Amino acid sequence: MKREGETVREYQTAVTSKGQATVPSEVRRLLGLKPHDKLAFIVEDGGVRIERARSVVERTAGLLRSDGPPLSAEGLRDLAERAIADDVRDRTRE
């Protein structure tokens, strides 16, 4: 989607018989890609967006943030055991 005041540029490349395509140098620069980096193809609203794939750490950072105090190892273990028990109970009901 074009944002107001944004310049639109088009870059074309060919797809090989193996389904490979070369990412144009300007696009690599804009995405901050280096050799061996991974790409993510996000399909939404009938279009495809290409982004540099983020690591698990980048995708989940802050996901488990809480306003409460951090749990102790024992508290985390109890919470995990309850979650596992709930999962087993739900699976046996199916």
Distances (CA, A) of 22 to 7, 17, 19, 63, 77: 23, 13, 10, 34, 47
For the chain, the domains span 31-58
Contact in structure between 5 and 13 (CB atoms under 8 Å): no
DSSP state letter for 21: B
Q: What is the pLDDT of residues 40-89, one digit of tens each?
A: 999 999 999 999 888 766 666 766 677 778 778 888 888 889 889 988 88
d(C-alpha 52, C-alpha 38), whole Å: 6
Task: State the pLDDT at residue 26.
Answer: 95
Gyration radius from the chain CA atoms: 22
Tell me how long the chain is. Answer: 94
**In terms of pTM, does the model score above 0.95?**
no
